[in-house]
Amino acid sequence: MGATVRRMHCATPEDADLIAPSATRVLPWVVAAFNGVKIFSATMFADRGQLGDRITAWLSSSPHRKLTDIIVTQSSDAAFHCLTFSIFYQEAPR
């Protein structure tokens, strides 16, 4: 059983192009203020294929949220592969 964690904080889309994550290391990470976390996770093949659509729908439903970080975690054993997106965001208090 193993897990790979990749942490990225990109100030601009151009910054993302400079990062080439390796499966054997955790990337440097800047801690940004957040007041909310949304977790998307799937183990089954079909569910993993739907994660992008689910995340996009959630992002579209709340444009007032400012994303501060996304952590992608992949874990697996002999039979199953789990993919988790932890999305950290900031939104105005209600």
- Per residue in 56-69, pLDDT tens? 999 999 888 999 99
- Strand order across the beta sheet in which 81-90 lies: 2-8, 66-76, 81-90, 36-42
**pTM score:** 0.64
Q: What is the pLDDT of residue 93?
A: 78
Predicted confidence band of residue 94 (pLDDT cuts 50, 70, 90): confident
d(CA 29, CA 27): 6
- Per residue in 23-50, pLDDT tens? 445 556 566 788 999 999 999 989 988 9
What torsion do the CA atoms of 50, 91, 66, 30 make, to the nearest 10 degrees? -100
d(CA 21, CA 27): 7
Amino acid identity, residue 49? G
